[in-house]
Amino acid sequence: MTKDGVYELHFKLHGQKHSFQAASMPERDGWFARIESAATDAKAQADEVKNSTGYKENMEQFGKSSPMAVDGSRDDRRRQMLTNACR
């Protein structure tokens, strides 16, 4: 995340740039602090979420044990899911 100019800030998420323009420097700095805090909290809760029963059940439903799992059949599963969705 970066402060731009006097009243602006931006950050990149999943390859997309998100820009904000505040009415004042204190407002921009407040937004900056809140976004940084939310990102820190989300990172801290990542393991808790990944270890939750609901998360594991949803991942099993998608045919994976983890969002980071990479194997040769991943693309095949995506094609199958798209095919089923179009029926």
Contacts of 40 (CB under 8 A, 6+ apart): none
3 vs 82, higher pLDDT: 3
Q: Which of 30, 34, 31 is nearest to 20 (CA)?
A: 31
* Tens digits of residue pLDDT in 14-33: 899 989 899 999 999 999 99
pLDDT at 87: 53
For 56-87, write each residue's pLDDT tens digit: 888 888 875 555 555 555 666 666 666 666 65
From residue 20, how far is each of 5, 7, 63, 75 by CA, in Å? 11, 8, 38, 36
Tally the domains of the chain. Answer: 1
Structural domain span for residue 29 = 2-86
Q: Which pLDDT value is given to residue 66?
A: 52
User: What span, in angstroms and rounded, lies between the C-alpha atoms of 21 and 8?
Assistant: 4
